[in-house]
Structure 1
Amino acid sequence: MTDRHSLDLPELRPLWSAVHDRLSTGRPVSRVRSGPLDEAGREALADLLGLDRLPGAEPTVPLAGLDGAVRDVCGRPVRDVVVSILGPIHDRAAERELAAGRRDALWGWLTGHEVVTAQPVLMDWVGHLRANGLVDGSPDRTRDLLTAALTVLAALPAGGEPLPVLAARLLDGDSHALDDGTRLSSLVLRALAVLYDTDMPDAAEGRRALWSRAGVADDELSAGVLAIGLRPQGEGPVARISRICARAGHPVSLTLAQLRTPGDFTGPAGPVHVTENPSVLTLALRRFGHRCPPLVCTSGWPNTAVIRLLRRLADDGASLHYHGDFDGEGIRIAAHVLAKTGAVPWRMAAADYRAAATRVPSGPDPGRLTAAPWDRALVDSMAELRTAVVEEVVADLLLDDLADNRHE
């Protein structure tokens, strides 16, 4: 303690602070610039270094000379002296490198997460988050928050649950975790805005609408799914209605309310084809009538009823085969359906697109493109040809495929 106090002089504090700061950079230090020193500080420094004249108010001091002078006074190196006076010396360069590594690991984890890789459009969400830095101040807290957001995204579209019920079910019983204005709610909503290619809502009404689009508190009657040729087994109302319509060559429209309580219902154990556009169902009915094989329509972005039916059919043993439009939105819808239902692509490869594009050489631009997880070459082909191909253009090929599965 006596040695420390002999050098811990108020007039030398600027010098010790400068030395402490430079040593904490983690880089080699040969000289330290101190100051500003008052007259008492200049005199103290001159005495310490054995100078025959006063240094300037902001002197540059060779570290080796200072270290030798300190050792002469107290027998300890200058590093020990500044530690005893000002506390531990940190290696800021190493700390920055470690922090950068932890941040890179965080973004690498998020980029490779199965929720993101299944729907590559969410890379735009990842890019936004990365550009804006850590969400919650540290990589660990940010990862916890992102893990919760990914848990919610993986469960969407929801089954029409109110938001607090969904939050409590997914997030350790915390019914307020997704309340409007929370960081977690904002994270999920931004991902949904990217997914549905819409602006991030800035008003409560818009945020409620976005949640509703993702199946949260859906209207059980307005959310429905259109199907033809669906012949499930069972004597429940949904199975019976579906069979009656299929035998008559009519479409069936099933509401979310019906699908929640279908009664005795077992879907067909075989191929079920899925299209994006209702017009394909119309063409199928014209061609096959009461012999039409099972065909379900998402009508664009699938609502909760669509996903619920497709998951039920898959659980009952059906193999789902999906086709949609060859444009930016169509690829994103396809990725969503495949990720949420386990469906496989149906005539949705790069070769299928290139063949279809010859039918519409002056077709519309496909718009914003994002990767297709099932075929990396597909979007490259679309970017090259810049031609959108809607489902109706290849409807004849789709119906030829269905002919092999028509009901006898």
Structure 2
Amino acid sequence: MNNDLNDPDIRPLWQAVADRLESGADAASIKTLRVALNQAGRARLTGWLATSLRGRRLKEQNGLLTVPVPKLLEALGMNEEHLHTFVENLIGISDNAQIRRDTEQARRHLWEYAAKLLPDTPRLVAGLRTAGVSKESIGTVTERVEALARARTLLPLRRPVHLARLALTCAGDPHYFDLAEPGNGARLVHMTSEILNQPIPDTPLAERLLLAKVGIYAERLSQTVLVLNIDAVGDSVTDEVIRAAKAARRPHHLSLYDLTENPPTLANHERWQIVENPSVLEEAMIRRPDAPIVCTRGAFAAVDHALLFLARAQGVPMSYSGDLDRGGRTAAHAAHRYGADIHLMDDATEHDAIGAGPLMTWPQNVPVVAHPSQVPSTHGGGLTVFQEHPALLDRLLGPDPEDPLHPSRLTQHSR
């Protein structure tokens, strides 16, 4: 009989038993098994069960036999304990059930530990718990809880410090609480909102303003927005710098610090043209239009929100124009929330740019780029129309007869 039990053709049956045991079941609870066997294995199994089957066939569905385990054990003269020992010796069984029990206990200890370290921020702890924790991530989440607990004992700070200093002190890594992924800044923001009993911020600017209330300064100097020809009428240092840059017809970087610590009073007699790409502002410096131009990021940062918030509050009329792709339209939607009109981003503009044909047709022995770009569009298929396209630049900034890359120069003659 022992040789029969070790028959390779019947091994899938024992593997099925092992799988059930590894899933946490005990041998006594296994009443049936569904298993695929070859012809030799089926013959072996049918021989064992011949007495109990009494000429009947085992049930089969989709190639899987349903095996009655109690009758099988009776036929083999085994009990549940013998089955467990036999399969463990033949196949090997990982004690996943014990692993799961140990993991669940570790989770329980983690959340008890978190509640003890962060007693006045239960919503934060609940959010950490909702995010889930695996056996592998328990150590990482524990470190996160401990870093937040250290920060909690310091907040609000006696005087402001930079976010990186707080992160180094609390976690040994100046980037630990970075507000961009994969940093843990979002958890710090949630904790701060709970400490101050305020809603969780819904924009990057609101996050940084909230942290500032407990003495944490984040990216006030590293975040800037590029402007050209905008004007200001107030008395702050920032107003003076804006006026000086306008008089010199030079671009200027406004920092988040400028806009939150020394906010300017903006002139509102001219419409701002907001663009997505610094290359457009560079072209404006060459073509020298008088209109104010602001260059925000493709994905708005806190400093972009800060400037547009001020502009809206002070009645500055604005238009936004970006690349004709998903990112550009997302940014346009964000600008529209601050009252900006959407300019040169409609279907007609896209159709005109595509219909204008290739930007360059020479040299003759080089294939022509027949479309406005070679970059697939992320909005509705086709190819992306970028702001750098001459048709868009001419309408944004006015035509330049000296433009060396205008299609009128590059599609009518060759070198």
Same fold (TM over 0.5): no
Higher helix share: 1
Which TM-score applies when normalising by structure 2?
Answer: 0.42
